[in-house]
Structure 1
Amino acid sequence: MSVNKVILLGNVGRDPEVRYLDTGVAVATFPLATSDRAYTLANGTQVPERTEWHNLVLWRGLAETAEKYVHKGDKLYVEGKIRTRSYDDQTGAKRYVTEIFVDNMEMLSARSAVPGTAPQAGMPGQTGAPVQSTQSQVTPAQNNPTDDLPF
């Protein structure tokens, strides 16, 4: 048995770049930044903040949602899989790219339809609005609706 699962919470580094394949399927790509805070070791050594950049790839409905509602600077929670691919650049050298193929996404930045107004209930982009792929997952709470445990 093996597991390939990634969970990221970070900020969008660039507006999504969306393209449509000949079959009409949407594909969105954009970077997501995650940062570890700066800290000081017991001996006084200062360790600076470290930012990692992740290349996200979204397909179909998630890509279309990202095209409409995701913008540079937005905070996102994503779940997906790590995929690595290779290609030959113009010089013939082999290059490797590691990408996160997103299965689920939650937009955590508040968005409003009109500047200065609060987001309306049920609008994508509202704080905590989940957006999932067509491969919906059933959570344990959905299996037993009488279970009111807070965890």
Structure 2
Amino acid sequence: MEKMINKVELSGFAGLNPEVKTLPNGNKVLKMSLATSSSYKDRDGNWVRDTTWHNIVMWNKLAEAANNTIKKGSRVSLIGKLTNRQYTDKDGNKHYITEVIANSYEIVATETAKAV
């Protein structure tokens, strides 16, 4: 059988402070957004920044740790898997969401002072 892989590795900036909720079964879930950017030159030679926003989910102990360390603007690197889900809102409209379920993360130190 052919090996299949679902692995996502992202490094970017937290869009807002994460939100942690405790579910009725006691599990904790954290949701946050992460921005990644790349740059390219357009036809006129001008640099354009292209930013993509990712929906990130963390569970239980990882969620608690991230809630205590990640803040809006934090530079975060994470590893996880890509998932898709759907739900129906109260008006009967179907919504489709792509999320990254993170299984590890780290805060990336940024240099605030120039080397001497």
Specify the TM-score bucket, using the shorter chain as the normaliser. 0.7 to 0.9
Q: Which has the higher contact order (CA 8 A, sep 6+)?
A: 2
What residue identity is the alignment partner of 2:61? G
CA offsets, 1:89-131, max 9 Å, x none? Answer: 2331211000000011011147xxxxxxxxxxxxxxxxxxxxx
Cα distance, 1:47 vs structure 2: 5.3
Return the TM-score normalized by structure 1. 0.66
Does 1:87 find its partner at 2:87?
A: yes
Q: Aligned equivalents of 2:90 and 2:24: distance in 1?
A: 25
How well do the aligned residues superpose, as a CA RMSD in angstroms? 1.7
Q: Aligned equivalents of 1:86 and 1:76: distance in 2?
A: 27
Cα distance, 1:45 vs structure 2: 4.2
Q: Aligned equivalents of 1:104 and 1:13: distance in 2?
A: 18
Structure exhibiting the larger radius of gyration computed from Cα positions: 1
Task: Choose between structure 1 and 2: higher strand proportion.
Answer: 2
Cα distance, 1:26 vs structure 2: 1.4
Q: Structure 1: which 5+ residue stretches go unaligned?
A: 111-151
Q: What does residue 117 of structure 1 align with?
A: none
Runs of 4+ off more than 6 Å: none
Q: Aligned equivalents of 1:40 and 1:34: distance in 2?
A: 17
Q: Structure 2: which 5+ residue stretches go unaligned?
A: 111-116
Return the TM-score normalized by structure 2. 0.84
Q: What does residue 66 of structure 1 align with?
A: 66
Query: Percent same amino acid among aligned pairs?
Result: 37
What residue identity is the alignment partner of 1:2? M
What residue identity is the alignment partner of 2:64? E
Q: Aligned equivalents of 2:41 and 2:80: distance in 1?
A: 33
